[in-house]
Structure 1
Amino acid sequence: MCHLAAGAISTHSPQRSLTRSVQEDVFFSLEVSCDGTPTIQWTFMSGAVSRTIGTWQPGGYTNITEDYSGRVQAFNNGSMGLSDLRLQDAGHYVVTVTETAGSSKDTGFVLKVNEVLYEDLQYLSVSALALACVAALLMLSTWLLDKAYRRIVAWRRRKQMPENDATELQPL
């Protein structure tokens, strides 16, 4: 839990380190209180990249950049929702709250985005399919060998039987 105050600006955030998977949504929870109407600006930073996500005033204007248009939801309390996460969304998010008098306060969030590993599932299904094919081949070869064995045994029995010549019956 974080509660920071600088001058008349106060921000509160229950969780500042978040982990989500690709294509999920994330909610950066923030409570802002200050004198007057604050201007809230969210910025994304990762490595050498720094870009503004959007700026808004509670109950006033909302200006979301084109890169994030359709994916960002701005809330009057300073919170922000980001939908349909991508791997490139992983990084640091900084919210700057500026009051009408000009003082400002920054609060940071860290977002980790995990990749969903469909390759593992694909590997597992291919392995199961290969094992099923091997099992089917083994069952087929066992069936064929059994059939051949029975034919050979029947052939040997016929070969060992005496010819159909006249058999004399002995009286008892």
Structure 2
Amino acid sequence: MSTPGNVWKGLTRAPALLCLLCLLQISFQTEGVTITIPHLVINATVDENATLSMDYSCQGSPTIQWKYVSDWYTTNITVWEPHMYENTTGAYQDRLNLYENGSIQILHVQISDAGFYVVTVTEDSGTSKEGIMVLKVHEKIFEDLHVVSIAVTFLVFISGFIMILMWLLNKAVEKHLKQKWSLTLQESSDIEVIELQPL
């Protein structure tokens, strides 16, 4: 059976333990890097701009690095520390916008830009976290339809022109045959008239 002294000791330990747990939780929340990626798959069409959105939280000043990863190779796109420095690879130099939240925007994407993009956020202590996104780049459908519609319009125009030309030729042939037929009839009637004249 517990004595009043033991109960008192348990009650005094509970707030101390609770405070210790709160401090540990706060320290776990403030240490490390967290990355939030709203869209894991980004769809874009050729020549559009594709924004690879993300957000991060960490202690101190982070270093943010983006890489392109394919089946055959990995390309460093950019490394930067917000408000400090930026190092962007030559191939992306004029095609990249950087944002303070760690997001990047690739300008005028091409089919070759499709693939996996890895972002790494590293804080001063060396703790880092990675996030992965997939960029899918689609061909412009409306350009194909535009070419097809022009081709169909051209073919309809040509076929209409040919039909009118054939109709005109048919009328010309009919007129020619009628003239020939009437000349033949006139010649045959002239022959008959000549034959019927008395000697």
Q: Which TM-score band (shorter chain)? A: 0.7 to 0.9
- Secondary structure of 2:54's counterpart equals strand
- Secondary structure of 1:55's counterpart equals strand
One-letter identity of the residue aligned with 2:98: A
* Counterpart for residue 75 of structure 2: 51
* Counterpart for residue 135 of structure 2: 111
**What is the aligned counterpart of 2:125 among 94, 97, 101?**
101
Aligned-residue CA RMSD (Å): 2.4
Q: How many residues align?
A: 160
Identity value in percent: 28
Distance 1:144 1:51 in 2: 67
- Structure 2 CA distance for partners of 1:156 and 1:93, relative to 1, 3 Å: same
One-letter identity of the residue aligned with 2:76: T
Displacement over 6 Å in runs of 4+ = none
**What is the aligned counterpart of 1:30 among 54, 61, 66?**
54
Q: How far off is 1:124 after superposition?
A: 4.4
Q: How far off is 1:153 after superposition?
A: 3.5
* Counterpart for residue 88 of structure 2: 64
Q: Deviations over 1:51-104 (max 9, x none)?
A: 110011112111111121011111111000110112211110000000111110
- Secondary structure of 1:100's counterpart equals coil
Unaligned runs of 5+ in 2: 1-28, 194-199
Distance 1:115 1:44 in 2: 20
Q: How far off is 1:110 after superposition?
A: 0.2
Comparing 11-20 and 33-42, the one that deviates more: 11-20
Task: Please state which structure has a larger fraction of its residues in strand.
Answer: 1
Distance 2:106 2:135 in 1: 11
Distance 2:178 2:160 in 1: 27
Q: Deviations over 1:18-63 (max 9, x none)?
A: 1112111100111111111111000000112101100111121111
Q: How far off is 1:139 after superposition?
A: 1.1
TM-score, normalised with respect to structure 1: 0.80
Contact 1:95/1:108, CA 8 A, preserved across alignment: yes
* Counterpart for residue 197 of structure 2: none
- Structure 2 CA distance for partners of 1:77 and 1:69, relative to 1, 3 Å: same
Q: Deviations over 1:80-138 (max 9, x none)?
A: 01101122111100000001111100000001112235555434433432332122112
Distance 2:95 2:124 in 1: 28
Contact 1:38/1:99, CA 8 A, preserved across alignment: yes
**What is the aligned counterpart of 2:172 among 140, 147, 159?**
147
* Counterpart for residue 42 of structure 2: 18
TM-score, normalised with respect to structure 2: 0.70
* Counterpart for residue 92 of structure 1: 116
**Structure of higher CA gyration radius:** 2
Distance 2:118 2:30 in 1: 16
Distance 1:119 1:33 in 2: 44
Distance 1:88 1:146 in 2: 59
Task: Please state which structure has a larger fraction of its residues in helix.
Answer: 2
* Counterpart for residue 155 of structure 2: 130
